[in-house]
Amino acid sequence: MKSDISVKLRPHHSMCIQFFVGNGYSNEFVERMRKVIYFLEQNDPFVILVESSDVICTECPHERNEICENEDKVAAIDCRCKIAAGIGDAKAIRWSELKKTVNERIIRCGKLSEICNDCCWKKICTDAVTILSSGNIEDVLQKSSDFYGEEPH
């Protein structure tokens, strides 16, 4: 079902979501991730790309007064993500299109490691990419899809 409701998202979260299998900064954060991903997958809303706190950051312990305490680092990842995905000029884009674009232009092209250079979760995501490049891409995507495909409590 398509929704006319829009969701604010930092560009790099369109990558993180595709590797989310339940890890996060706190229980509240993990639950928030699950709810946001469930909504995106069920409703395919327009995503408004933002350079500030988004719908996921609101439950993050690293957000202070709507600003990420690692803003410089995160902004740099956002910037690299937008350039690599070719979505620098996009203001609003359907979730399904954003997910597909990032998947094709970053994840499947082996650019994740460079873009996410200094992220603390990098090992989890690059390990998944290694599995992807070994030919089992559908297994990893299915694992992620199975997890966030369940309706959150």
- Name residues contacting ligand SF4, limited to 103-132 (CB under 6 A): 116, 119, 121-122, 125
Q: CB 75 → ligand SF4: shortest distance, Å?
A: 9
Q: CB 2 → ligand SF4: shortest distance, Å?
A: 26
Nearest to 68 by CA among 56, 54, 78, 53: 53
Q: CB 67 → ligand SF4: shortest distance, Å?
A: 8
Which of 10, 82 has the CB closer to ligand SF4? 10
Reported residue count of the chain is 153
CA–CA dist 71, 57 (Å, integer): 11
Burial of 115 (0-12, 13-18, 19+ CB in 10 A): buried
Q: How far is CA 131 from the centre of its chain?
A: 19
The size of the interface with ligand SF4 (CB under 6 A), counted in residues, is 19
Q: At what angle do helices 27-43 and 95-102 cross, to 10 degrees?
A: 110
Q: Between 39 and 78, how does the x/- string for binding to ligand SF4 read (CB under 6 A)?
A: -----------------xx--x-xx----x-x---x--x-
Which of 74, 98 has the CB closer to ligand SF4? 74
Which of 14, 45 has the CB closer to ligand SF4? 14
Q: At what angle do helices 137-148 and 27-43 cross, to 10 degrees?
A: 100
Which of 4, 27 has the CB closer to ligand SF4? 27
Q: Are 96 and 18 within 8 A, CB to CB?
A: no
Residues contributing to the site for ligand SF4 (CB under 6 A): 10, 12, 15-16, 19, 56-57, 60, 62-63, 68, 70, 74, 77, 116, 119, 121-122, 125
